[in-house]
Amino acid sequence: MKKFFLRSAFVAVMTLALSSCSITMPVTATSNPVGAKVGKSSATVVLGFAFDEDASIKSAAKQGGISKISTVDIKVKNVLGLIVTYETIITGE
């Protein structure tokens, strides 16, 4: 019986440790037609500390070679509030 509880506790802890939440939200859209180009930039925050990463709209447009932005989306992935990744997704021409 004791082994069953230990195994159950281990499974519960591993499930929590490996779980994450992800949401994608629209930020803005322009009157420019939606193009085939997509640019992405991301930044990760670990335990509240941000590193030298750039998740800006400008860097995403530059990475995708986009000069006329059509849509801007933000994707946030959160792992137990300890590791948060912000990703900016740009579409356009």
In the chain, pLDDT over 90 holds for what percent of residues? 44
So where are the chain's domains?
A: 20-92
Question: Is the pLDDT reported for residue 74 higher than 80?
Answer: yes
Report how far residue 54's alpha carbon sits from residue 43's, in angstroms, rounded to the nearest whole number.
6
Question: Mind listing the pLDDT tens digit for each residue in 16-28?
Answer: 666 668 888 888 8
Report how far residue 80's alpha carbon sits from residue 50's, in angstroms, rounded to the nearest whole number.
16
CA distances from 28 to 57, 76, 79 (A): 11, 16, 26
Q: The whole model's pTM is what?
A: 0.73
